[in-house]
Amino acid sequence: MKTVILAGGFGTRLAEETQAIPKPMVEIGSRPILWHIMELYGRQGFKDFLIACGYKGDEIKAYFNSYFYRHNDWRINLRDGSREITKQTTPDWTVDLIDTGLNTMTAGRLLRLADQLKDGAFMVTYGDGLSNVNIKELVAFHQSHGKLATVTTVRPQARFGAIKLDGDEVASFTEKPQTESGWINGGFFVFEPKVLDYMIGDDMPLERKPLENLAKDRELVAYRHSGFWQPMDTLRDKRYLNSLWDSGNAPWVLDTEE
């Protein structure tokens, strides 16, 4: 099953970073957040990627173009230029890097990839959000209900501490808990090819008419994920994700390949 990663937006809310590079290339640890997302899928057996590039897409293409050389160890004969790998650590992913337009919206980017997505169900997610969602369970859930689309819904962590009152007394205080109500779109979609019929033109966001009409037609089902989920919308978010990575216990990292 192919996985599309929407990686073409301008990332204006993270302008401190995205003036020079596209948002999916902003690093968590020493790797772009895009790599972390792909690692989540790859370690669960989904290794066929389509990267929908747009703003500063050449930076993404350059990264993967040199990936094989940068992340393996080499022995090079400087006399004749021959080389051989002495240690290979690169994953067995297939990555299609496709320019889907500078100003194209999210549904428009998928529509531009339609010819490569028509043969069966495919997955889609955003290039700026991390989670520990179980992709195999997500796919199995999608296959079980027979509808056209599945969206992973999440309850994000509150930005501020939660206080429950008993009169004027504080009955309990919880620092930045997970919200108790209000499921939101967390990305990590599974779509049947017919979903593309709900999309028209470059200027259509996935999150408006396509998902709204799928819901209206009762063809959109929610996969509830109560585990870790965190977007990288601001510099604060980037710092938080880096602190999790630096702790050595980042919740989106799987221990072993499944």
Write out the residue range of the structural domain in which residue 72 sits: 2-246
Confidence (pLDDT) at 154? 93
Residue 199 falls inside a structural domain: yes
pTM reported for the whole predicted model: 0.90
Confidence (pLDDT) at 161? 60
- What's the token pair of residue 52? 């929908």
Burial of 118 (C-beta count, 10 Å sphere; 0-12/13-18/19+): exposed
Report whether 32 contacts 5 (CB < 8 A).
no
* pLDDT of the chain, 258 residues: tens digit per residue: 999 999 999 999 898 889 999 999 999 999 999 999 999 999 999 999 999 999 999 999 999 999 999 999 999 999 999 999 999 999 999 999 999 999 999 999 999 999 999 999 999 999 999 999 999 999 999 999 999 999 999 988 766 566 566 676 656 656 555 555 578 999 999 999 999 999 999 999 999 999 999 999 999 999 999 999 999 999 999 999 999 999 999 999 987 555
Confidence (pLDDT) at 182? 77
- What's the token pair of residue 46? 């989904």
Residue 258 falls inside a structural domain: no
How far apart are alpha carbons 69 and 106 in whole angstroms? Answer: 32
Residue 135 falls inside a structural domain: yes
Report whether 6 contacts 109 (CB < 8 A).
yes
Residue 254 falls inside a structural domain: no
Confidence (pLDDT) at 1? 96
Q: How far is CA 21 from the centre of its chain?
A: 17
Residue 194 falls inside a structural domain: yes
For the chain, the domain total comes to: 1
CATH number, domain with residue 37: 3.90.550.10
Residue 255 falls inside a structural domain: no
Q: Which amino acid is at 76?
A: I
Residue 81 falls inside a structural domain: yes
Confidence (pLDDT) at 167? 73
Give me the phi and psi of 86, to 5 degrees please. Answer: -100, -20
> Between the CA of residue 44 and those of 37, 190, 214, what are the distances in Å?
12, 15, 28
The per-residue DSSP string of 202-241 comes to: TT--TTTHHHHHHHHTT-EEEEEE-S-EEE--SHHHHHHH
Residue bearing tokens 């501490």: 161
- Which residues, in sequence order, are CB contacts of 244 under 8 Å at separation 6+? 250, 251
DSSP state of 176: S
